[in-house]
Amino acid sequence: MASNSSPKRSRTVVLGTGAGIPRKVLTNFDLEKMVDTSDEWIVQRSGIRERRIGSEGESSITFTTQASLAALEDAGLAPEDLDLIIMASHTPDMTLPSGSCLLQGRIKAKNARAFDLLAGCTGWLYGMVVADNFIKNSPDFKVLVVGSEFLSNRLDWEDRTTCVLFGDGAGAVVLTGGGDGRGILSTCLRSDGTQWEALTMLGPGSMYPITHEFVDKKLHVVRMEGNRVFRLAVPALEEVAWFVLTDAGFAPSDVDWFIPHQANIRIMESVAGRLGIPMEKVIVTIDKYGNTSSATIPVALSEAARDGRIKRGDLVLLASFGGGFTWGAVLIRW
Ligand code: ACO
């Protein structure tokens, strides 16, 4: 999946970014009243201080639409300019139609093909790589890649080991081909389906259809062996980061901004430390939003691009890890 790093070839460039974040804030102190936990435990173990949760009447499409329209506006494009929509989510509004088709209809992107992509928390990053390959074939293509999760109704609010970690939200980018040496320099995707039990949302699906037992056993919620995931994530993220850097001819010291998946501040610190990237160069949003799964990186990217931290010409390293397991990295000259 690596791409050639010659400066002359057309690359996939980011035209615009956007985020859709729920207004409702759920703090660690709110959670202290719901389960046997404490602000101190959650901050020390995860770095999360609060997360955003959708309200009644809101669902995935609410925040997917906000993020997508913001990214289009930032790109200076209208919805009908889009050729393709890729939506990464394991919590879309419906099983059928896809979240991407609902979005296409909602924003009236009448010229866009649309499909969903399921790769756990790494879904948006997988979407970036798929979009990059479309754009290599058709450099004029305008592609929206949106990561969106509505996890709050897929959590067991009595399970303190998971409910404190996640939040709702969406982040999006608009991509196209460009020829000035900027853009996606290298990509790397990996999967390992042998350890899938460590992080699941078992149903509803053909193996676990909806029955009374399904509901009683809460088989629709996120279950995670956090410690096992933690130990797998750190070396995996480090390996793919090294892969894309080496492939494009860079060292970690060349990186201006590192945006890892926002699942746990200790994972981010550990990976950054192994790579020798100082934390001042790591974009962190987990304190505000928790783990929004496939939305974490595009939300963080959007915030850092819009507040001026990420500047034209910066070398930006993205790396993600999630259920499946799936993981990967993308290196961008901004
Ligand atoms: N409040 C208080 N105590 C808690 C809580 C809580 N919310 N949750 C667990 N504990 C307790 C446990 O019961 C355990 O108690 P015990 O020692 O008496 O058995 C103790 O705290 C330690 O539990 P651990 O699970 O060992 O704690 P750990 O330091 O591993 O932190 C955490 C847990 C935060 C989940 C961490 O393992 C983690 O972040 N894992 C990685 C998750 C991840 O990376 N996911 C990303 C990919 S997947 C995705 O994003 C969807």
Read off the pLDDT of residues 155-165 as tens digits, 9 standing for 90 and up.
999 999 999 99
| Rg value, the chain, Cα | 19
Question: How many CA within 13 A on the CB side of residue 262?
Answer: 30
Q: How far apart are CA 304 and CA 283, in angstroms?
A: 7
279-285: average pLDDT: 98
Judge if pTM exceeds 0.75: yes
Q: Are residues 85 and 205 in the same domain?
A: no
The protein residue with its alpha carbon nearest to ligand 1, atom 14, reads: 161
Q: Are residues 261 and 149 in the same domain?
A: no
> Which position among 90, 163, 261, 264 bears the catalytic label?
261
Question: What six digits make up the tokens of 322?
Answer: 């999630």
pLDDT, tens only, 210-259: 999 999 999 999 999 999 999 999 999 999 999 999 999 999 999 999 99
Question: Dihedral sign, CA of 105, 110, 116, 121?
Answer: negative
Q: Does the active-site annotation cover 291?
A: yes
**319 in Cβ contact with 267 (< 8 Å):** no
Q: Are residues 118 and 202 in the same domain?
A: no
Whether the CB of 334 sits within 6 Å of ligand 1:
no
Whether 279 is in a domain gets the answer: yes
pLDDT, tens only, 217-228: 999 999 999 999
Whether 4 is in a domain gets the answer: no
**330 in Cβ contact with 314 (< 8 Å):** no
Domain boundary among 179, 209, 242: 179
Query: Which of the four pLDDT bands, split at 50, 70 and 90, describes residue 180?
Result: confident
Q: What is the pLDDT of residue 179?
A: 73
% residues pLDDT > 70 (the chain): 98
Q: Are residues 222 and 326 in the same domain?
A: yes
Whether the CB of 223 sits within 6 Å of ligand 1:
no
Whether the CB of 200 sits within 6 Å of ligand 1:
no
Q: Are residues 192 and 135 in the same domain?
A: no
Task: Let me know how long the chain is.
Answer: 334
63-84: average pLDDT: 98
Ligand 1, residue 323: give the atom nearest the CA: 48
Ligand 1, residue 233: give the atom nearest the CA: 44
Query: Which of the four pLDDT bands, split at 50, 70 and 90, describes residue 9?
Result: confident
Closest to 99 measured CA to CA, from 154, 138, 153, 61: 61
Q: How many domains does the chain have?
A: 2
Q: What is the pLDDT of residue 2?
A: 44
> What mean pLDDT, rounded, does the chain reach?
96
Q: Are residues 61 and 206 in the same domain?
A: no
Q: Are residues 169 and 210 in the same domain?
A: no
The protein residue with its alpha carbon nearest to ligand 1, atom 36, reads: 226
Domain boundary among 179, 196, 227: 179
Whether 5 is in a domain gets the answer: no
Q: Is the pLDDT of residue 313 over 60?
A: yes
Residue with tokens 């400066």, as numbered in its chain:
7
Whether the CB of 160 sits within 6 Å of ligand 1:
yes
Ligand 1, residue 46: give the atom nearest the CA: 34
| Residue-by-residue DSSP string for 61-129 | HHHHHHHHHHHHHHHT--GGG-SEEEEE-SS-S-SSS-HHHHHHHHHT-TT-EEEEE-BTBTHHHHHHH
Contacts 24+ apart (CB under 8 A), 23-30: 23/52, 23/55, 24/52, 24/53, 24/54, 24/55, 25/50, 25/51, 25/52, 25/53, 26/50, 26/51, 26/52, 26/53, 26/167, 28/164
Cβ atoms within 10 Å, residue 243:
20
Question: Residue 34 C-alpha to ligand 1 middle, in angstroms?
Answer: 17
Whether 2 is in a domain gets the answer: no
Q: Is the pLDDT of residue 6 over 70?
A: no
Identify the domain containing residue 307 by its residue range: 185-333
Q: Is the pLDDT of residue 192 over 70?
A: yes
Question: Residue 227 C-alpha to ligand 1 middle, in angstroms?
Answer: 6
Question: Dihedral sign, CA of 244, 250, 252, 256?
Answer: negative
Q: Are residues 117 and 218 in the same domain?
A: no
Q: Are residues 47 and 105 in the same domain?
A: yes
Domain boundary among 138, 164, 179: 179
Whether 148 is in a domain gets the answer: yes
Q: Are residues 145 and 197 in the same domain?
A: no
1-25: average pLDDT: 80
Whether the CB of 157 sits within 6 Å of ligand 1:
no
Q: What is the pLDDT of residue 8?
A: 57
Q: Are residues 175 and 296 in the same domain?
A: no
Q: Does the active-site annotation cover 121?
A: yes
Query: Which of the four pLDDT bands, split at 50, 70 and 90, describes residue 3?
Result: very low
Q: Are residues 91 and 170 in the same domain?
A: yes
> Which position among 121, 188, 220, 264 bears the catalytic label?
121
The protein residue with its alpha carbon nearest to ligand 1, atom 11, reads: 161
